[in-house]
Amino acid sequence: MRYYSTEGRSPKVGFRKALMRGLAPDGGLYMPESFPERRWTSSHFADVAMLTLSGFVPRTGLIESCREAFNFPVPLQKLGENLFVLELFYGPTLSFKDFGARFMARQMRLALKKGERINIVVATSGDTGSAVASGFYGVPGVNVFILYPKGRVTNLQELQMITFGGNIHALEVAGDFDDCQMIAKEILGDAGLRMELNLSSANSINIGRLLPQMPYYFEAAEKLRWKYGRKEKPIIVVPSGNFGSLTAGLFARAMGLPVEFFVAAVNSNCAVPAYLAIGTMRSRDTIPTLSNAMDVGNPSNWRRIVDHCGGDSVRINNALRAITVTDRETEAAIFSTHDKFGYIVDPHTAVGLHAAGEIAKRGFSRTPIIVLATAHPAKFRETVERVTRLTLEIPGRLAVVMSRESKKISAPASKEEIVKIIKAAQ
């Protein structure tokens, strides 16, 4: 498989080069040249992942990467007659971001030459940072610099990033996520710095983080069919911020995933619904919400979606819908989901569930709807406990970080100052 840049001004490259670069030299995002059709049945998710990713990723080490990275369950739960939830939060950091980060860490380890060192710069609005920290902790030859917005992540999200130390450097940036993302892109786009520091990214702008998210869509469709006996094409609702997961879903659709269409469930940072309505993407100032990991005013992966659909707004609108969900509606969804089904959800999944209810009202009440559950509710216990009046049990993987020492570094929203921090850590 060869990968081209969305900007069209860089040579095509193989997977490993795209993985190690992160961004193409022209500043574009790497895209696969083609999407081989996939049809199979399998009872093991690691096998589903291996078959999905074969052709995109070199065979050497692929089986081992899948079996090591995806060593946790991916259950599909039925809530209502036509409402299902795919639980993606059983990885080490209790977030769907573990799928991409764990696979990517193993592939980078394979790609590094003996004695080579690489510096990974990643921006996070919440869960990406902890997943990348967990996935890359202790990997020889890799230094990770995580940029996260001060005061915009939950206490537990922060603790999952700032307590590793070693090769993991957590930078608390005085700004919002879009500031962090802009600085990361500026650093990665600086040709001189890239050469000097051997830089790459672990955000979903890196194709190596995005591709491993394709398999869970096939897993959802398979379980809907063989576990619940539903043969119709489902609607899949994707809580969306930077649109990496939804892009992976569109890639899976191009490979034969049976899906009616996707729904991008977004919070008040609603640039994409506006695009679908008027055909123009306008970046916006980030608005803090309860679903903080989706607080993205200018989603990077939208460039991939436009490229994937050939810039055709009709194709984009046929492939997906977008629904904006307010914080009040998010709280209502948390409450009603527990009240009606006895099921507890985090704010991001609640955004998806509210969007599912809205899409059902638009003539799809008899179509199976699958909502991606993106994080364990305990990661957002303050919100969930306040709304449900429950006391949540903290899983051991979260409880252990609460007693660890903070190793965070405070930094201004400045490329120059953050570069100094990166250089000082070499």
Nearest alpha carbon to residue 212 among 32, 35, 52, 44: 52
Would strands 83-87 and 168-174 be described as parallel, antiparallel, or unpaired? unpaired
Q: Delimit the domains of the chain by residue range.
A: 73-94+210-388, 98-204+402-424
Nearest alpha carbon to residue 323 among 285, 358, 282: 358
Q: Using CB atoms within 10 Å of the CB of residue 160, give its burial: 0 to 12 exposed, 13 to 18 middle, 19+ buried.
A: buried
Which of helix, strand or coil describes residue 75? coil
Rg (CA), the chain: 20
Nearest alpha carbon to residue 125 among 251, 287, 280: 287
List of E strands, 251-408: 261-266, 320-324, 369-373
Would strands 118-123 and 142-149 be described as parallel, antiparallel, or unpaired? parallel
Q: What pTM was estimated for this model as a whole?
A: 0.93
Average pLDDT, the chain: 93
Is 114 marked active-site? no
Fold: same for 73-94+210-388 and 98-204+402-424? yes
DSSP string, 114-139: TT--EEEEEE-SSHHHHHHHHHHTT-
- Token pair 């050469």 in the structure block, residue: 195
**Residue 298 pLDDT:** 84
Residues 98-204+402-424, CATH architecture? 3-Layer(aba) Sandwich (3.40)
- 388, 338 in Cβ contact below 8 A? yes
What is the distance of C-alpha 114 from the center of its chain?
30
Catalytic residue, from 12, 17, 78, 97: name it: 97
Choose which CATH entry (3.40.50.1100, 3.40.50.2000, 2.40.50.140, 3.30.750.24) describes domain 73-94+210-388. Answer: 3.40.50.1100
| pLDDT over 80 at 311, yes or no | yes
**Residue 327 pLDDT:** 97
**Residue 57 pLDDT:** 96
CA 3, CA 15: separation in Å to the nearest integer? 7
If pLDDT is split at 50, 70 and 90, which confidence band does 39 have? confident
| pLDDT over 80 at 24, yes or no | yes
| pLDDT over 70 at 287, yes or no | yes
What are 189's two structure tokens? Answer: 């786009």
If pLDDT is split at 50, 70 and 90, which confidence band does 374 have? very high
Summarised one tens digit per residue, pLDDT across range 381-425 is: 999 999 999 999 999 988 888 888 999 999 999 999 999 999 999
**Residue 282 pLDDT:** 74
**Residue 41 pLDDT:** 67
